[in-house]
Amino acid sequence: MRTHLGEFEQLLLMALGHLGDDGSGGELREFIERRTGRAVSPGAIYTAMQRLENRDFVSSAFGEPTPQRGGKRKKLYRLRPAGLRALQEMQAVLARMGRGLDPKLSPR
Amino acid sequence: MTTQRRPRLPRLLVSLMLRGEMREVVLGDLDEEFARALDGGGTMVAARRRYWRQALASIAASWHRSPSAMIPGQQRNARPRLGRVFNGWNSDLRQSVRGLAQTPGFTAIAALSIGIGIGANTAVYNIIRVVLFEPLPVDRPQELALVYWAGPKDGKVRTIQLNSSSYRDPHTHQHYSSNFTYPMYAAIREASSDPRTLFAFNFVQRLNVSTGGGPPVAVPGLLASGNYFEAMGLQTVLGRPFAEADDRLNAPPVVVLSHGFWTRVLGADPGALGRQLRINGAAFEIVGVTKPGYRGLSPGGFFPSTDLTVPISSQPLVMPRWSATPAAGASLFTSDLFWVRIMGRFADGTTGAEGAMTTVLREHYMRLPLADAAQAQHVAVRMLPGARGLDSLRAETERPLLLLGGVVALVLLMACLNLAALILSRGMSRQRDLAIRRALGAGRWRLIRAMMCESVLLTILGGAIGLMLAVWSGPVITRMLTTGLGAGDLDLGADWALVGLAVGISIAAAVLAGLVPAVRLSGSFSTRLTQRGDGAASRQFTSRALIAAQIAVSVPLLVGAILFLRSVHNLSSAPLGFDPSGLVMFRVEPAGSGVRRADPIAAYERLLERAARLPGVSSATLVENPLIGGRTSGTGVSIGGTRARLNMNAVGAGYFETMGIPIVAGRPIGPEDRPGRSPVIVINESAAATYFPGESPLGRRITIGRRDVEIVGVAADSLYSSLRKQAEPAFYDAFGQRAGAMPEIERLTGSSAPLSMHVVLRTAAPAATLERLIPAAMAEIEPDIVVTEIRTQLDQINNSIARERMFTRLLVLFGGFAMLLACIGLYGVTSYAVSRRTAEIGIRLALGAQHGQVLWLVLRQVLVLAVAGVVIGLPLAFAASPAVASMMYGLSPRDWPTLIVSAALVVGVAIAAGWAPARRAARIPVLAALREE
């Protein structure tokens, strides 16, 4: 099982960590947009989350349909232990790679 | 409330492109975000824009991030349901585009050939549809019928036909005539069960019209009885059609304009209604304008589009030369002047009406002077289908048009074969690749789809090119065809159904061709992997058969091209008997002008004198029928007691000098041969040899009509109406002296001169310059004269063989194109065969084979294909030959030299195409070839 996580996947997992249990796709998107300042489409969120789910990093469930969503259900995600581990590993890798670069990396 | 204002299109796109739960959650998010943006005080525009962007980005993301479709198995597990169908197509499509872009030569040839095939077919079949099948734009056109009739073969009743046509029954060979006398029409109509639906008409080729402002124009017109519009069911867009009340002898003259005339000449001025129009000098009131699509009774454009329709009772006003005493309208009552055509609407079929009309007509015929009951028994009425108006009878256009249809169908077939061969060879060269993919678990359908995707893409590309060609070249080909066939200017839009059909045929061919390797491959794949690439003999056979078929198809096209080239060469090198270069001519329309009113001969002489002073003109003359113009005049004469029929042509002084026709004995027609002087003629050598063998005709007299004329000269023979007709016995008379020579004409025209003469100029000036100067110069002499048909003699000769020239051009074009495609195919197949046999050839060379032997090894295969193609193609050409027989001149369509030359050409070109790969084979470095094994 590969543990590699792409940048976007890391962002998603971290956002899910922030949101706690049962973060919806829309909340994930908004969170990432707010923190990173870049536009993300719902399609991109769900496609990537699907991939993470296939790798057992997250689990998903459907919420109740609401009138605001035109009667459509929400998809809710939960971070799974494997996902958390993978995220931790990636963070460790990034930290190792960045060691000694602090003066250059820290924002001015 | 926001529900109503959600952007629909992006929603639809998302629904189409995304599947299952993906669709649900994405749509939900989009809608939720949209609703929140509005509730949060955002503008509708911004919210909608964001909706659009997010929707499109979602679709792109779900496609882009899909795992490679190339990895079998994974896809299905990784993403159940998720956009699978589109996903796969998308990657196939991208792969196809990439593949095609890598081989631009292949792509260009395949697409262009399909494009040309589609373009040519669309243009030609569009014309075929309009010219051969389009009915008149009226209600229930199928009910319309033309009334024709046949009289006794040796009828004693004198008939003078004006503007008539005839129909020959293909089975009984009986000839039927279109024209009746006005009293005949009246009798038939009176006895008809529903007289309202039976109408009379005839054409007038040119009516001279002055509108008050601007110079007069000459336009085609129609004389029609008062019930014409009602019977045909024709509406007007402006004003009213004319009716029975307008079709009385002393009713005020009225005219209905065509929509084209109204826009072109009167600037679509609605105030034109009620205004006066001078037609051939007489004043007519404009009462109506027809609908735009109405072109008169010839939807195919074989007769000029009708611009003016006037009641038939105004014939004496507009065509006074059809009646002796214009004021009385005598021709309406004359019983020997056949000038009325009849058409009618027969809702219950024509069988009963035919019999009833025959009875009426026989009774009427018996009362004619010199007729008797026995003769009247031969009179029979024949109804002919009139749904396409007069074009129903244009059977002679059918054959060349259908032939053309066959030619372009062959071109499309050729393009399809070519595409099939290209795709097949491409499929073969990708066998290994496909086999690997199959071995890795790619589905069978998946591979087939990948192959077909490329074929379809190529065809669509070709279809797009074809569409552009059709739109761009359509008008060009249409003009070429219509002038070649003698039809007028047709305004044809693109016919999308036809384009669709042609594209459909090509796609079907491409898909079939793509299927063959794909289906074969996807069957058993393990063996393919172990083989070197490809090589099953049967597939080789398929592509070789396709090449042979291409050669076979190009053979008839090539034979046709050579036949027409030789035929046109024969025609244009036929000795004319006159010098056509440097001749410019034009027609002066006299009706309504001074030429008719006062002394016509003096008026013509004044016009001629002015024309002779135009720049560069060395001599000028007048002629009744210009040469190679399709028109002849002829008359019965008596030469020393023997009756004979001679061609004749009325000419002015200086005719022979201007035309370059040598006078072999006596003198030409000169300025002294004026009315009042003793009438003279010049005969041609054929007439001299036929009627005065071994003696001099000079000074001899012959009787024309009631008067004796003297032969004063003999001119060398020259062709008269057509390049195809050898010179026949003929005489030339002075145009000013024709009075008395032709009592009927004189009576009909009410004048001693033929009314419409052509001026011929021999000039060193360019025709274009004269074309500008001539109308003004003529207007100086006769202000309201109309000058038409300005052209050079050479143009006139070329136009007379327009059909042959058109076929030549098209066949050379298409034949060359077919040959080129066959060569490309041949080259490809041969190159491929050589590359496959590199090792074998290397061994042969290593064992001592000579270069010549290797060359022959490869060329032999090329020859087999070429000969096979010729053997199939020649019988095809042979079978098609009767269709072109009537257009051949000086050779038979089964001309053996042509067939042999074509066959040799095909074989020669095939060898040329195979030469390069063959030489490459012979020069293969032995070591490199062996290493390849």
Residue A44: closest C-alpha in chain B: B61
| Chains A, B: CB pairs < 8 Å | 86
Q: Between chains, do A41 and B58 touch, taking CB under 8 Å as contact? A: yes
Q: Which residues of B touch A42 (CB under 8 A)?
A: 25-26, 29-30, 33, 54, 58
Label residue B766 exposed, middle or buried (CB < 10 Å: 0-12, 13-18, 19+): exposed
Question: Left, alpha or beta for B29 (phi > 0: left; psi -120 to 50: alpha)?
Answer: alpha
Residue B298: what pLDDT?
78
Task: Supply φ then ψ for residue B714, to 5 degrees.
Answer: -125, 125
Would the pLDDT of B622 be above 60? yes
Q: From start to end of B693-806, where are the E strands? A: 701-704, 707-715, 730-734, 757-763, 786-792
The mean-pLDDT minimum among B46-55, B492-501, B910-919 falls in B492-501
Question: What average pLDDT score do residues B161-182 get?
Answer: 80
The mean-pLDDT minimum among A65-69, B357-361, B591-595 falls in B591-595
DSSP notation for B531-583: SSS---HHHHHHHHHHHHHHHHHHHHHHHHHHHHHHHHHHHHTS--SS--TTE
First to last CA, chain A: 39
Q: Which residues of A touch B (CB under 8 A)?
A: 25-26, 29, 39, 41-48, 50-51, 54, 62, 66, 68-70, 72-75
The Cα of A69 is separated from the nearest Cα of chain B by a number of Å equal to 5
Question: What average pLDDT score do residues B874-878 get?
Answer: 88
Question: What average pLDDT score do residues B898-909 get?
Answer: 91
Q: What is the pLDDT of residues B348-371, one digit of tens each?
A: 877 788 888 898 888 888 877 777
Would the pLDDT of B240 be above 60? yes
Would the pLDDT of B254 be above 90? yes
Q: Between chains, do B33 and A26 touch, taking CB under 8 Å as contact? A: yes
The mean-pLDDT minimum among A59-73, B421-435, B618-632 falls in B421-435
What pLDDT band is residue B752 in, cutting at 50, 70 and 90? very low
The mean-pLDDT minimum among B21-35, B607-621, B639-653, B826-840 falls in B826-840
Label residue B411 exposed, middle or buried (CB < 10 Å: 0-12, 13-18, 19+): buried
Residue B257: what pLDDT?
92
Q: Between chains, do A73 and B25 touch, taking CB under 8 Å as contact? A: yes
Under 8 Å between Cβ of B347 and B198: no
Mean pLDDT of chain B: 79
Q: Which residue has the higher pLDDT, B538 or B151?
A: B151
Q: Between chains, do A47 and B61 touch, taking CB under 8 Å as contact? A: yes
Q: Which residues of A touch B3 (CB under 8 A)?
A: 70
Residue B17: closest C-alpha in chain A: A43
A24, A68, A73, A74, best to mutate vs chain B, most B CBs in 10 Å:
A68
Q: Between chains, do B25 and A75 touch, taking CB under 8 Å as contact? A: yes
Tokens of residue B307, six digits: 């611009």
Q: Which residues of B touch A34 (CB under 8 A)?
A: none
Q: Between chains, do A41 and B79 touch, taking CB under 8 Å as contact? A: no
Least CB-CB distance to B3: which of A39, A46, A70? A70
Q: What is the pLDDT of residues B65-115, one digit of tens each?
A: 544 333 333 333 444 344 444 456 667 777 777 777 777 777 777 777 778
pTM of the model: 0.64
Residue B585: what pLDDT?
93
Residue B160: what pLDDT?
64
Is the dihedral angle over the CA atoms B617, B621, B622, B626 positive or is it negative?
negative
Least CB-CB distance to B26: which of A43, A48, A62? A43
Q: Which residue has the higher pLDDT, B79 or B255?
A: B255
Residue B225: what pLDDT?
92
Q: Which residues of B touch A74 (CB under 8 A)?
A: 25, 28
Rounded distance between C-alpha atoms, residue B726 and residue B719, angstroms? 6
Q: Between chains, do A42 and B21 touch, taking CB under 8 Å as contact? A: no
Question: What average pLDDT score do residues B908-932 get?
Answer: 84
Question: What average pLDDT score do residues A10-21 get?
Answer: 88
Q: What is the pLDDT of residues B689-734, one digit of tens each?
A: 999 998 899 999 998 877 788 999 999 999 998 888 889 999 999 8
**What's the gap between Cα B238 and its chain centre?**
33
Residue B578: what pLDDT?
92
What pLDDT band is residue B526 in, cutting at 50, 70 and 90? very low
Q: Between chains, do A44 and B61 touch, taking CB under 8 Å as contact? A: yes
Q: Between chains, do B61 and A54 touch, taking CB under 8 Å as contact? A: no
Q: What is the pLDDT of residues B528-585, one digit of tens each?
A: 444 444 445 555 677 788 889 889 988 988 998 999 899 989 988 888 999 999 999 9
* Unique residue bearing structure tokens 């670069």: A101
Residue in B353, B515, B485, B502 with CA at minimum distance from that of residue B423:
B515
Would the pLDDT of B668 be above 90? yes
The Cα of A100 is separated from the nearest Cα of chain B by a number of Å equal to 35
Using a CB–CB cutoff of 8 Å, tell me whether B75 touches chain A. Answer: no
Rounded distance between C-alpha atoms, residue B111 and residue B464, angstroms? 9
Is the dihedral angle over the CA atoms B350, B352, B355, B359 positive or is it negative?
negative
Q: Between chains, do A42 and B54 touch, taking CB under 8 Å as contact? A: yes
Q: Between chains, do A42 and B26 touch, taking CB under 8 Å as contact? A: yes
Question: What average pLDDT score do residues B383-399 get?
Answer: 75
Least CB-CB distance to A26: which of B29, B65, B82? B29
Classified as helix, coil or strand, B618 is: strand
Residue in B544, B526, B541, B547 with CA at minimum distance from that of residue B431:
B526
Q: Which residues of A touch B32 (CB under 8 A)?
A: 26, 66, 68-69
H-helix or E-strand containing B160? strand B160-161
Which residues, in sequence order, are bridge partners of residue A77?
A: A23, A60
Q: Which residue has the higher pLDDT, B248 or B929?
A: B248
The Cα of B27 is separated from the nearest Cα of chain A by a number of Å equal to 8
Under 8 Å between Cβ of B730 and B661: no
Residue B124: what pLDDT?
81
Question: What average pLDDT score do residues B272-297 get?
Answer: 86
The Cα of A40 is separated from the nearest Cα of chain B by a number of Å equal to 8
Question: What average pLDDT score do residues B50-56 get?
Answer: 88
Rounded distance between C-alpha atoms, residue B229 and residue A48, angstroms? 74
CA distances from B835 to A57, A66, B364, B529, B745 (A): 53, 67, 86, 19, 80
Q: Which residue has the higher pLDDT, B764 or B401?
A: B764
Is the dihedral angle over the CA atoms B845, B849, B850, B851 positive or is it negative?
negative
Instruction: Give the list of residues 6+ apart from residue B324 with CB closer than 8 angstroms, or none.
Output: B330, B331, B747, B748, B750
Rounded distance between C-alpha atoms, residue B572 and residue B590, angstroms? 33
Residue B623: what pLDDT?
92
Least CB-CB distance to A43: which of B3, B57, B78? B57
The mean-pLDDT minimum among A55-64, B225-234, B442-451 falls in B442-451
H-helix or E-strand containing B256? strand B254-257
SS3 for B11-41, per residue? HHHHHHHCCHHHHHHHHHHHHHHHHHHHHCC
Residue B286: what pLDDT?
92
Q: Which residues of A touch B73 (CB under 8 A)?
A: none
The Cα of A84 is separated from the nearest Cα of chain B by a number of Å equal to 21
Residue A3: what pLDDT?
65
Residue B908: what pLDDT?
92
The mean-pLDDT minimum among B270-284, B290-304, B379-393 falls in B290-304
Q: Which residues of B touch A66 (CB under 8 A)?
A: 32
Tokens of residue B614, six digits: 């135009």
What pLDDT band is residue B485 in, cutting at 50, 70 and 90? low
Residue B662: what pLDDT?
94
Q: Between chains, do A39 and B62 touch, taking CB under 8 Å as contact? A: no
Range from B147-161, B320-334, B844-858 that averages highest in pLDDT: B844-858
What pLDDT band is residue B755 in, cutting at 50, 70 and 90? low
Q: Between chains, do B28 and A41 touch, taking CB under 8 Å as contact? A: no
Residue B682: what pLDDT?
94
Would the pLDDT of B593 be above 50? no
Q: Between chains, do A44 and B58 touch, taking CB under 8 Å as contact? A: yes
The Cα of B847 is separated from the nearest Cα of chain A by a number of Å equal to 58
Classified as helix, coil or strand, B370 is: coil
Tokens of residue B662, six digits: 């040598």
Residue in B821, B107, B825, B122 with CA at minimum distance from that of residue B462:
B107
Residue B739: what pLDDT?
54
CB atoms within 10 A of CB B499: 21
Task: Supply φ then ψ for residue B470, to 5 degrees.
Answer: -65, -40
First to last CA, chain B: 76
Would the pLDDT of B651 be above 70? yes
Rounded distance between C-alpha atoms, residue B880 and residue B903, angstroms? 16
B18, B25, B65, B75, best to mutate vs chain A, most A CBs in 10 Å:
B25
What pLDDT band is residue B872 in, cutting at 50, 70 and 90? very high
Question: What average pLDDT score do residues B597-603 get?
Answer: 68
Give the total residue count for chain A.
108
Question: What average pLDDT score do residues B48-62 get?
Answer: 85
What pLDDT band is residue B780 in, cutting at 50, 70 and 90? confident
Q: Between chains, do A42 and B31 touch, taking CB under 8 Å as contact? A: no
Residue B730: what pLDDT?
93
Using a CB–CB cutoff of 8 Å, tell me whether B671 touches chain A. Answer: no
The Cα of B25 is separated from the nearest Cα of chain A by a number of Å equal to 6
Q: Which amino acid is at A96?
A: R
Residue in B650, B575, B581, B666 with CA at minimum distance from that of residue B618:
B581
Would the pLDDT of B785 be above 80? no
A34, A69, A77, best to mutate vs chain B, most B CBs in 10 Å:
A69
Q: Which amino acid is at B289?
A: V
What pLDDT band is residue B465 in, cutting at 50, 70 and 90? confident
